[in-house]
Amino acid sequence: MPSSATPPVPRTAPSRDHRRRRHRLLLALLTLALLAAAALVLPVPSPSEMRSWAATAGPAGVALFVLGNALITVAPVPRTVFTLAAGLLFGPVGGVGAALAATTISAGLAFGLVRALGRDLVAPLLDHGTLRSIDGRLRRRGWLAVASLRLIPVVPFSVLNYCSALSAIRWQHYLAGTVGVVPGTIAVVLLGDALTGRTSPSLIAVSVLCATIGVAGLFVDMRTRLPALPH
């Protein structure tokens, strides 16, 4: 009698996408391992030493920091690291000034660049649901919408820049709304300054207050009903 056993199913080779993801994961793990090894072997300067190096560089060092910060954060790169570094390198006053200058320049560059590139090129790179939500707020509130969204910690800096440029908001209203980054920037800069161990308790209280304002902005925005669009 003929055998009724089914032939073995051949094992399929892993797909190209699966192999690519696996290679990326291995590369990321290797990079982390190399960074960890470098941190153990290479001397790491203390926060006080970094502050001394920044003081030695003078105004030129501040200018280079502002320029580099502004250019890098035009891309979707979190600016929190740079804001923290500003406090660490330049102290509370100089750090706030450098961080706010870089943020304003970066916001203006991103807005102008996206407006120049056009909606058809940039819009596909954004989540359409996020784009519609932010665009609706900008159309209803103008610069106040930008300011309130800047207060919300969970709204990425670069995403708001791009969405604003794709909306109908005017350039001057957009830049005026950048004032919303002030409380969060002060909080993070003072946190960076605290890493040197020289921050007074009063400045730490100011940092906590500014962070609280940012969190309060999130709750106020969640509970505020938007006015209807005019027909």
pLDDT tens sequence across 39-90: 666 566 667 777 888 888 889 999 999 999 999 999 888 888 899 999 999 9
Question: Mean pLDDT over residues 110-119, rounded?
Answer: 83
Residues of the chain above pLDDT 70, percent: 61
Higher pLDDT, 53 or 95: 95
The residue among 157, 185, 177 whose CA lies nearest residue 96 is 185
SS3 labels along the chain: CCCCCCCCCCCCCCCHHHHHHHHHHHHHHHHHHHHHHHHHHCCCCCHHHHHHHHHHHHHHHHHHHHHHHHHHCCCCCCCHHHHHHHHHHHHHHHHHHHHHHHHHHHHHHHHHHHHHHCHHHHHHHCCHHHHHHHHHHHHHHCHHHHHHHHHCCCCCHHHHHHHHHHCCCCHHHHHHHHHHHHHHHHHHHHHHHHCCCCCCHHHHHHHHHHHHHHHHHHHHHHHCCCCCCCC
Residue 66's pLDDT is what?
95
**Quick check: 92 and 193 in contact, CB under 8 A?**
yes
Question: Mean pLDDT over residues 194-203, rounded?
Answer: 69
pTM: 0.67
Rounded-to-integer distance, Cα 227 and Cα 230, Å: 9
Q: What is the pLDDT of residues 3-18, one digit of tens each?
A: 555 555 555 555 666 6
